[in-house]
Amino acid sequence: MTDLPGQAIHDYFVKNTKKKLFVHDEFGPKVEMPLPVYFRDFYEMPELEQKALKLCTGKVLDIGAGAGSHAIELQNLKFNVTALEISNAACDVMRARGVENVLCDDIFEYSNEKFDTLLLLMNGIGLCGTCEGFIKFLKHAEKLLSPGGQIIFDSCDIAYMYEDLPRPEHYYGEVKCCYEYTRQKTEWFHWLYLDFSIMSMIAIAAGWNVERIAEDENNQYLARLTRRI
C-alpha cells in the first residue's frame, strides 16, 4: 500500500510542509490527522500516553512508532527501546530525530528478539485490523515477550459513532479506512477499535491477564496484558 502517512510525516519534518494528512472512514466526511501530533514531547501527550510510558519496564519494543516520540521519551529515561515501524519514510525521520534503535519491519513478520514490554500507543493496536487479527497478534506476542513481560496499549469504544447508524454484521470496531495526502489516496484497509469488554473476553480466552489501568472521558482506556502462567 502507498505509504502516504510516512510521506506526510517525512515532509512535515524535512520540509515543514503545510500539506494535510486526512483519514477517510465509513462514518462521514474525511478528518484531518494533524501532523504535529506525531512530534509531541511528554508534556504534550495525553494523560493515558504519559501513564503508559511510566508503566514500561525492561527492554521495550515501541510498535508502530511513527515519528518516534514515545521512543525518544523512553530513550531519554535510559530505557533500551527499539522503535518498530513499517514505513521507511517514518523510519528515516526517527533516525534523524536521534532514535538509536530503529527497525523497519512488519510486526507480524518480526520475531528476532525478546522484550519485556510491547508498547502500542495512539490506538496502535488498531493495526490488528479485526478481532481475528488481535487474536493473531496475541499469539505472536508470546514469541516476542520475555517471561513476565507485558503488552501496554490504548484503544477506545466507538459505539457512540453508531448512534444514528445501524450496527454492521461484523464487530463494530472493525472500521474500513484510507489515508489521503497530496490528493492521493491509499487503498482501503481495516483498523481496529476494541471496546474494553470485547478486548478482555478475547485476551482472557487466549490466556492473558487483563488490567484496565485508566480511562478518560472520550471512551478511551489504557490496558496492560500479561501472560497467565
The three grid cell numbers given for residue 174, joined into one nine-digit string? 472493525
Q: Residue 165: its pLDDT value, please?
A: 86
The three grid cell numbers given for residue 11, joined into one nine-digit string? 515532509
In whole angstroms, what is the distance from residue 119 CA to residue 178 CA? Answer: 24
Instruction: Calculate the dihedral angle through the C-alpha atoms of 56, 58, 59, 64, rounding to the nearest 10 degrees.
Output: -10
Q: Residue 164: its pLDDT value, please?
A: 82
Q: Residue 10: its pLDDT value, please?
A: 97
Q: Residue 28: its pLDDT value, please?
A: 87
Q: Residue 5: its pLDDT value, please?
A: 97
In whole angstroms, what is the distance from residue 30 CA to residue 169 CA? Answer: 23
The pTM (predicted TM-score) of the whole model is: 0.96
In Å, what is the CA distance from 215 to each residue of 43, 52, 128, 156, 207? 18, 12, 21, 9, 23
Answer for the pair 81, 117: CB distance below 8 angstroms, yes or no.
Answer: no
Q: Residue 229: its pLDDT value, please?
A: 75
Q: Residue 83 is inside which H or E element, if any?
A: strand 81-85
Q: Residue 158: its pLDDT value, please?
A: 96
**pLDDT tens digits for 87-104?**
999 999 999 999 999 999
Q: Residue 2: its pLDDT value, please?
A: 86
pLDDT tens string, the chain, 229 residues long: the values are 689 999 999 999 999 888 999 999 989 899 999 999 999 999 999 999 999 999 999 999 999 999 999 999 999 999 999 999 999 999 999 999 999 999 999 999 999 999 999 999 999 999 999 999 999 999 999 999 999 999 999 999 999 999 888 899 999 999 999 999 999 999 999 999 999 999 999 999 999 999 999 999 989 999 999 999 7
Q: Residue 12 is inside which H or E element, if any?
A: helix 4-15
| Residue 181: alpha-carbon gap to chain centroid | 20
Burial 173-202 (b: 16+ CB within 10 A, else e): bbbebbbbbeeeebeeebbbbbbbebbbeb
In whole angstroms, what is the distance from residue 228 CA to residue 207 CA? Answer: 6
| Residue 176: alpha-carbon gap to chain centroid | 16
Q: Residue 204: its pLDDT value, please?
A: 98
Q: Residue 149: its pLDDT value, please?
A: 98
In whole angstroms, what is the distance from residue 209 CA to residue 148 CA? Answer: 11
Q: Residue 44: its pLDDT value, please?
A: 97
In whole angstroms, what is the distance from residue 71 CA to residue 15 CA? Answer: 23
